[in-house]
Structure 1
Amino acid sequence: MNRISSQLATQLSLVSLDGRRRPEPPALVLVAHGSRDPRTLATVHTLLDRIRELRPGLPVHLGHIELNAPLLPDTLAALGTGDAVLVPLLLSRGYHVKRDIPEMAAAAQARTRVAAPLGPHPLLVETLYDRLVEAGWRTRTDEATRRTSAVVLAAAGSRDPEGAVDTHRTAQLLSDRLGVPVVPAYASAAAPTVETAIRALAARGRHRVAVASYFTAPGLFATQCAEAAPWIASAPLGTHPAMADLILHRYDQSLAATATTEPALASA
């Protein structure tokens, strides 16, 4: 019912009080990293379909930073001089969010604004929680079990210290949700590794350790991190319904910020 109401509200918003159709809203360009794993591209396309279902009147496009077509510069070139909000399908700040995407946007003719990365955000925490429950995490445990339990939040990793800050924030929010320690660990570019984090937790008496996959889609890093789990490992965030909601939230948030600071999207 909520989804139907959202779709109806979106359709009505495209019509002005005098019955004439309003100008098309700025396009949402979902910016994915790109991957050689075909499951990643399938996940991204499913997310795009869900976004279109939630906002039927919203132009939605895809652009990759690397590895997959369409590449972001090609997507922006096809938009011409149209307005667009670029929403990174990335979970924290880092080089791609700070440099790659803005530089590609600046080189395009389209009038663009780059939204914040998806994380940290409570919707991601709820998605991580649901994925852990799907993998076998018990929603109710006694105190003795909690004292021996913990979670390793397995992320891709970044050399940018702000990326680590964002991941630590997500880990803290998930810890609050679960009531057990949650330790961030990384597949590359940062420390500790998942294996190191698991050993450190075991040294503290935490032997019931789950690995929470903090990746947007299946892939090499997610698989390697899951294989290191001594107990259960959750699936990546993937096509959880909250992901499409969060992408649209970042889009709306960017438009709202634009509206309060300038009359229109800035020309890149």
Structure 2
Amino acid sequence: MAISWRHAGGVNGNRASAPPGLVLVAHGSRDPRALGTVRALRDRVRELRPGLPVHLGHIELNAPLLPDTLAGLREGPEAGAVLVPLLLSRGHHVKRDIPDAAAAAGVRTRVAAPLGPHPLLVETLYARLAEAGWRAPVSDAERRVSGVVLAAAGSRDPESAVDTRHTARLLAERLGVPVVPAYASAAAPTVPGAVRALAARGRHRVAVASYFTAPGRFATECAAAAPWIAAAPLGAHPAMARLVLHRYDQAAAHPGHAPRHASEHAPGPVLAAA
């Protein structure tokens, strides 16, 4: 996905000299907790970068919708905006929906890379697992019966699965136990299927790590399949706010191309521990 710096007519040199605003692009959910979560993340980003205009727009289901947020920027003082998707991998929303909305907005826009994969996501996943009761295995015997299912939304885009597998590999390296990526829709395995596969290998101390930005139907369904503990979604963890600003800074500094760093995106084996 190329990062573009789209020029709208009538943008003058004075506005172009100001830094672009930041628009958090959330998916949207019927779960009322989701809107509160992304608002809390927005507030954390504002605290970390005082003076930076930080806005929120949704792809669907919640207000403000992204086109409405971008329309409001046409009347503001900002020199366009950097759109940071609160999405964790490449897929249709990142490649098509958000760029299309940006192109139609009538303001200067850059679209940043999705949040994942990135070590700051692993930091957040680890923290959420610890909050849910995860403790590192204290013996080889305990390690041999432990595992984690990384529960993600799922996508038909094969690059989305590549990104999720990379996050699973990084988390496995952090935890020292196998981490199996699984999906709520559109891809296999399902979370119950991944749990059964681990159990068939003798791993019954299995936690579900919630690879969702905010609460919603998929996150709730995946948590219900946990045989032991289920972590909360990533939410407004401080590392998430730092990651949002990292993606913003990448896009603002390199308008001509998408950030593609091997340390963040290169695929690799998922099961780091057997």
In the superposition, the TM-score normalised over structure 1's length comes to 0.87
Alignment map for 1:157-176 (pairs within 5 Å): 157-176=154-173
Please tell me whether the aligned partners of residues 208 and 231 of structure 1 are also in contact (alpha carbons under 8 angstroms): yes
Deviations, residues 87-140 of structure 1 (Å, cap 9, x unaligned): 000000000000000001011111001000000000000110111111111135
Is 2:21 the partner of 1:24?
A: no
* Structure 1 unmatched ranges of 5 or more: 1-21, 262-268
**3-state DSSP of counterpart to 1:86:** strand
Following TM superposition, where does structure 1 have runs of at least 4 consecutive aligned residues deviating by more than 4 angstroms? none
The 1-side partners of 2:169 and 2:107 are apart by 38
Q: Deviations over 1:190-247 (max 9, x none)?
A: 1100000111111111111110011111111111111110111111101111111100
Alignment correspondent of 2:240: 243
Contact 2:137 2:146 in 1 (8 A): no
Query: Is 1:200 aligned to 2:194, yes or no?
Result: no
Counterpart AA for 2:227: P
What residue number does 1:121 align with?
118
Query: Hey, what's the Cα distance between the residues in 2 that align with 1:260 and 1:76?
Result: 22
Q: Which residue does 1:104 correspond to in 2?
A: 101
Percent identity reads: 78
Amino acid at match of 1:78: G
Counterpart of 2:138 in structure 1 is 141
User: Which of 49, 52, 55 is equivalent to 2:46?
Assistant: 52
Structure with the greater relative contact order (CA < 8 A, sep ≥ 6): 1 or 2?
2
Match of 1:73 among 67, 72, 75: 67
2:9 corresponds in structure 1 to none
Amino acid at match of 1:35: S
Q: Give me the CA root mean square deviation.
A: 1.6
Question: Structure 1 counterpart of 2:152, which letter?
Answer: A
Aligned to 1:39: 33
2:251 to 226, 250, 254: 254
- Determine if contact 2:137/2:143 at 8 Å carries over to the other structure: no
Partner of residue 55, structure 2: 61
- Pick the aligned partner of 1:234 from 215, 231, 234: 231
Q: Which runs of 5+ in 2 are unaligned?
A: 1-15, 259-274
Of the candidates 174, 177, 187, which is equivalent to residue 177 of structure 1?
174
Which secondary structure does the structure 2 equivalent of 1:152 belong to? strand
CA distance in 1, matches of 2:142, 2:240: 31
Structure 1 or 2: more helix by fraction: 1
CA contact (8 A) 1:24 1:58 kept: no
Q: In 1, distance between residues paired with 2:226 and 2:71?
A: 43
CA deviation after TM superposition for structure 1 residue 260, in Å:
8.8
The AA in structure 2 aligned to 1:41 is L
The residue type paired with residue 113 of structure 1 is R
- Residue 216 of structure 1 aligns with which residue? 213
Where 1:212 maps in the other structure, the secondary structure is strand
